[in-house]
Chain A
Amino acid sequence: MSQVAQGKGRIGFIAGFLVLPLALYLTFVIWPYIQTFGYSFTNWSGQSPTFDFVGLDNYAALMKDEVFRGALWHNLLLLVFVPTVTILLALFFAFMVNAGGRSGAGGVRGVWGSSVYKIVYFFPQVLSLAILAVLFGAVYRSDEGGLLNGFLTKLGLVDPVHPVEWLNQPDLALWCLLLVVVWHGVGFYLVLFSAAMQSVPKDIYEAALLDGAGRAQTFLKVTLPLLWDSVQTSAVYLGIAAMDMFVLVSTMTSGQFGGGPDHHSEVMATVLMRNFLYFGKSGYACAMGVVMLVLTMILSIVTLRATRRERIEF
């Protein structure tokens, strides 16, 4: 750290630079975070200025709340499938793009056109989730006007008189949303893994090639272990995204703040918002926020621990 910067008489400068950022951050981030814990022990409606301390009643009620328990289960399902599917696809594509094409003289390199693929795949990442919601709302339309139904009808796989009710089908809705998340995420993680792959020295690949390693072997024995840090980070990020899901569920599925049909696509965030803005149960909603925090923390720690391996330096 800079030695020049040391010395007295700079307290004013330091304080002056910190006061505004700190004030904003305390007011709008930290203080609300802390308040949530307090409110979660009250029966506050949000409307009236008065409320009672009810201890752990909200948490006890949460345990019995069928809708919330269903939502929790859906979040856990997404938590397993969103990272797994996205990471596997992204790894596969990243490997193809970076090391898929190979030839005797050039060693290992990406397939032809790989930079174009990287540009195209990444594009969903810059679109807002609201745009995705409208787009896939149209793709999943339950009549022949939906892209998916229209396409499947053309192929003769779907009866035009009874098209698939993608988002209205209780056992399909959640998986339809999962596909949107994967569609959105693969490109980003492809680029992320590509950056990690490119930082691996070429001679490691060349050595593997000389030893007669095939593509699968190169991937499993060389690429994957060297990428493990990135895979781990991605799992945590995707896990956090799977815990949220608010925008897609609330805008694409039926019901107040989404979650339909009949709570089959409900996630914790939509239940929270409904209780807060629609039922006016602010204290109860705060308890859900706390549960979401605890689960997110557990998720991050478990992912990082479970996937811990010896770090490979190169």
Chain B
Amino acid sequence: MTTESTVIKAPGEASAERSGGSGRAKDGAKPASDGTVLNVFSHGFLAVWAMLIVLPLIWLALGSFKTDSQIGGSALSWPSNWHFDAFSRAWDKGIGDYFAHTLIVMVFSVPLTMLLGSMAAYVLARYPFPGNRLFYYFFVSGAMFPVFLALVPLFFMVKRLDMLNTYQGLILVYVAYSMPFTVFFMHSFFRTLPTAVHEAAVIDGASDTRIFFQVMLPMAKPGLISVGIFNVLGQWNQYILPSVLMQPQTGSDPERYMLTQGLIQLQYQMGYETDLPVLFAGVTIAMIPMLVVYLSFQRQIQAGLTSATLK
């Protein structure tokens, strides 16, 4: 099994290698001539698809500056005014709140997922005890089932605990549903850590708990980052769980919509109020942090998600 560090490095090495040898040799070996024509074709296809990705997003962002009638009238019009008021209206319509709700949940759910997932994975990876394999498969098997299988009883379970439409309810559910993947990934990671460090710590008289928190967990940092990114993306983009669990239960119950839920809510609302610039501004606001996070960590995100899927 490849260790995480090599997986993360691979794309970087490859791209460095490519850019290093970027000067295309023109010494015309046989395939080069037909290659030129094909290169034009392949570039064409690649560029077209890149446009198909980028243009709708730019078009949407531009819509935030248009007037509602302009949006309805023609798709290809250029915004006539460059005011930012649709953004502030979107923020007032709840985007700011949805953002805050999502952040509150994630501030607790992601660290808790990582901590509990790592603890379980660590014990299962490095402490042989009767039933160890059983526990491991038990944890990991949860990833195989569609969430819809659990949805109805889950709703009533959370209801019985009196945690519908509460942050703590959603946090616990997020942590629980992130467990299979986190345990799976961290398990294979902890197995690759050297035994010698553990032995040294034992000789120094460190307790098991202390070894975990002060030795093993810091050593597992690359793995934690990969799983962390995966969990952040997964929980940030979750829609089904909050749309079932985070609905106001009584008239006086405040709404605590997550961002994804809030955007859909805004879509319905703006359909009635015919204020599409607000909707487009709202989506743009929601998109920008993801774009920034992605561009800053794109290598880790791509490597993390790829290795996660291939394992």
Q: Which of B75, B135, B152, B180 contacts A151 (CB 8 A)?
A: B75
Once the chains bind, are B127 and A5 in contact (CB under 8 Å)? yes
Q: Which residue of A lies closest to B261 (CB)?
A: A130
CA distance A91 to B155 in the complex (A): 40
Q: Are A117 and B75 in contact (CB under 8 A)?
A: no
Instruction: Tell whether A115 pairs with B19 under 8 Å between CB atoms, given A18-B135, A126-B233, A128-B237.
Output: yes
Query: Contacts of B195 on A, CB cut-off 8 Å?
Result: 2-4
How far does the alpha carbon of A179 sit from the alpha carbon of B34 in the complex, in Å? 33
Are A293 and B145 touching (Cβ within 8 A)?
yes
Q: Which of A25, A137, A146 contacts B142 (CB 8 A)?
A: A25
Is the Cβ of A120 less than 8 Å from the Cβ of B153? no
CA distance A47 to B301 in the complex (A): 43
Contacting pair A196 B264 (CB below 8 A)? no
Interface size on A, residues (CB 8 A): 123
The interface residues of chain A lying within 8 Å CB-to-CB of B209 are 13, 16
Of the candidates B123, B175, B183, B266, the one having the most CB atoms from chain A within 10 angstroms of its own CB is: B123
- B74 near A147 with CB under 8 A, answer no
Which residues from B are CB-within-8-Å of A230? Answer: 310
Take A112-B22, A115-B18 as given contacts and tell me if A28 and B172 are in contact as well, using a CB distance cutoff of 8 Å: yes
The residue of chain B having its C-beta at the shortest distance from the C-beta of A120 within the complex is B50
Nearest residue (CB) in B for A34 is B153
Asked if A183 contacts B52 (CB within 8 A), the reply is yes
Q: Across the two chains, which residue of chain B brings its CB closest to A119?
A: B298
Cα distance A133–B268 in the bound complex, in angstroms: 12
Asked if B148 and A289 sit within 8 Å, CB to CB, the answer is: yes
In A268-287, the 8 Å CB interface with B consists of 268-269, 272-273, 276-277, 282, 285-286
Q: What sequence of 0s and 1s flags, for each residue 97-133 of chain B, a beta carbon within 8 Å of any chain A beta carbon?
A: 0000000000000000000110110111111110000
The distance in angstroms between the C-alpha atoms of A145 and B74, with both chains bound, is 5
**Inter-chain contact A2/B126, CB cutoff 8 Å:** yes
Are B76 and A192 closer than 8 Å at their CB atoms?
Answer: no
Query: Given A151-B76, A247-B239, A276-B152, are A126 and B280 neighbors across the interface (CB < 8 Å)?
Result: no
Report the minimum CB–CB distance from B153 to chain A (whole Å): 4
Segment among B7-15, B80-88, B219-227, B248-256 that sits at the interface with chain A: B7-15
A17 lies within 8 A of B149 (CB): no
Residues 123-170 (chain A) with a chain B CB within 8 angstroms: 123-131, 133-139, 141, 143-151, 154
| B49, CB-defined interface residue at 8 Å | yes
| Residues in B156-210 with C-beta less than 8 Å from chain A | 156-158, 172-173, 175-177, 179-180, 183, 191, 195, 198-199, 202, 208-209
**A54 CB–B CB distance under 8 Å:** no
Least Cβ–Cβ distance between B208 and chain A, in angstroms: 4
Residue of B34, B154, B295, B307 with most partner-chain A CB within 10 A: B154
B32 touches A118 (CB 8 A): no
Find the A residue at minimum CB distance from B15: A115
Best-buried of A14, A154, A183 by chain B (most CB within 10 Å): A14
Residues of B within 8 A of A (CB): 10-11, 14-15, 18-19, 21-22, 24-32, 34-35, 38-39, 42-43, 45-46, 49-50, 52-54, 56-57, 59-60, 63, 71-76, 116-117, 119-120, 122-129, 135, 138-139, 142, 144-146, 148-158, 172-173, 175-177, 179-180, 183, 191, 195, 198-199, 202, 208-209, 212, 233, 236-237, 239-240, 244, 259-261, 263-264, 266-267, 276, 279-280, 283, 286-287, 290-291, 293-295, 298, 301-303, 305-307, 309-310
